[in-house]
Amino acid sequence: MIRAIVTDIEGTTTDIRFVHNVLFPYARERLAGFIAGHQHEEQIKAILSDLRVETGEPQATTERLIEVLFRFMDEDRKSTALKALQGLIWRDGYVNGNFTGHLYADVLPAFKAWQQQGVALYVYSSGSVSAQKLLFGYSDEGDITPVFSGYFDTHVGAKRDVQSYHNIAAQTGKAGHELLFLSDIRQELDAAREAGWQTVQLIRGEADTQSVHPQVNGFDEITLEQVSP
């Protein structure tokens, strides 16, 4: 029996174009100025310190770190420090009404139905927890954060690593077979399945012919009885 559902965001609940065409450019344009203006604040100092550890450059100047962050953006690097900074910058955009977090129309009705069935809902994304809360807190459907029991980001591990899913299971207090992971990325689902989870792949475009996971085109096609062990 499925007792908890963990969902990815980009390409799953949210159009990938919103992330790449709205969120990423917004953060890129403001990154250097944001760091320059806030680098002496404790939160930003801690993030930059983490970045120095991540890059193996303990003496890196702020200017050098900004260069590194732009390179990480170009590489689409899943850097925890970069994701944290992006989340802080996006906050201004959400709060000021520059954009709202995109949701596919089939997402919220499914969330509400599962919640009414007593299934706990969680988010697992490479974006920071703060960024996740902003997207769902300022979504096209308003603040939907009350439907979630928790959030996970790369602090629990990379999304293609099996151990990450063991870590999430431990934190939720659920056994692997009681957990369902929803994602558009086959390799992430492979890792979750190896950890003993149930899986469903969201296909918003063409089918993934290399995937062994059940594939659906929307949340409204997911039946928990069909994926339960």
| Residue 132: CATH number of its domain | 3.40.50.1000
Residue 65 has pLDDT above 80, yes or no: yes
> Mean pLDDT across the stretch 2-6?
97
User: What percent of the chain is modeled with pLDDT above 70?
Assistant: 100
pLDDT bucket at 227, cuts 50 / 70 / 90: confident
pLDDT bucket at 225, cuts 50 / 70 / 90: confident
55 exposure class (CB count in 10 Å sphere: 0-12, 13-18, 19+): middle
> Mean pLDDT across the stretch 162-178?
97
pTM of the model: 0.87
Residues of the domain holding 203: 4-15+100-227
My answer on whether 120 and 188 are in the same domain is yes
Model pLDDT for residues 81-105, shown as the tens digit of each residue: 999 999 999 999 999 999 999 999 9
My answer on whether 55 and 141 are in the same domain is no
- The total domain count for the chain is 2
| Residue 34: CATH number of its domain | 1.10.720
My answer on whether 117 and 204 are in the same domain is yes
SS3 92: helix
My answer on whether 201 and 171 are in the same domain is yes
My answer on whether 72 and 135 are in the same domain is no
Model pLDDT for residues 97-154, shown as the tens digit of each residue: 999 999 999 999 999 999 999 999 999 999 889 999 999 999 999 999 999 999 999 9
**In this structure, are residues 152 and 170 in contact, taking their beta carbons and an 8 Å threshold?**
no
Identify which of 72, 57, 78 has the alpha carbon closest to the alpha carbon of residue 10: 78
